């Protein structure tokens, strides 16, 4: 079973991708990294319950054989490493876009540049990561 790591699962495109992966969860192991905001906890709660996982965001990593949730931050390399570990595919739908990016340029830079650099670094650090891991980026 291949592992698909999805960044941006709580956004518009990312959540659509997550729901499509969820329909095919018998074919893929799904890994997501989400900030532990109440919005994200509420969004993923039905899926965590269905998977039999804790869903309150109080435990930093919850997982079973088919689903893994990392409650963390993509601007922290250690959280990204945890998400990318063992991945066959990395789908990145994460972005901080206008109009909010116009009001919070530091956050936009952190998400759109630093977090992406963390993903690429984590892929490079995986055994044969550059050769083995497929990376798809939407923007």
Q: Which two tokens stand for residue 91?
A: 């789908």
What pLDDT does 55 receive? 80
CA pair distance 111, 6, nearest whole angstrom:
15
Strand segments (E) across the chain: 2-7, 28-34, 61-63, 67-71, 89-92, 134-137
Q: Which two tokens stand for residue 110?
A: 């952190």
What pLDDT does 59 receive? 82
93-105 pLDDT per residue, tens: 999 999 999 999 9
Rounded average pLDDT over 83-92? 98
CA pair distance 51, 66, nearest whole angstrom:
8
9-55 pLDDT per residue, tens: 999 999 999 999 999 999 999 999 999 999 999 999 999 999 999 88
What pLDDT does 57 receive? 75
Distances in Å between the alpha carbon of 102 and those of 3, 107, 128?
Answer: 35, 10, 38
């Amino acid at each position: 079973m291949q592992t698909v790591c999805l960044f941006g699962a709580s956004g518009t495109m990312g959540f659509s991708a997550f729901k499509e992966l969820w329909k095919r969860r018998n074919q893929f192991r799904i890994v997501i990294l989400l900030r532990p905001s109440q919005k994200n906890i509420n969004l993923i709660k039905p899926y965590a319950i269905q998977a039999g996982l804790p869903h309150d965001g109080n435990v930093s990593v919850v997982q079973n054989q088919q689903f893994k949730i990392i409650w963390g931050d993509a601007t922290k390399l250690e959280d990204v490493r945890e998400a990318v570990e063992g991945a066959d595919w990395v789908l990145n739908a994460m972005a901080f876009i206008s109009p909010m990016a116009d009001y919070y340029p530091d956050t936009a830079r952190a998400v759109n540049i630093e977090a992406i650099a963390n993903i690429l670094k984590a892929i490079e650090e995986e055994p044969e990561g550059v050769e083995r891991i497929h990376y798809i980026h939407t923007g």
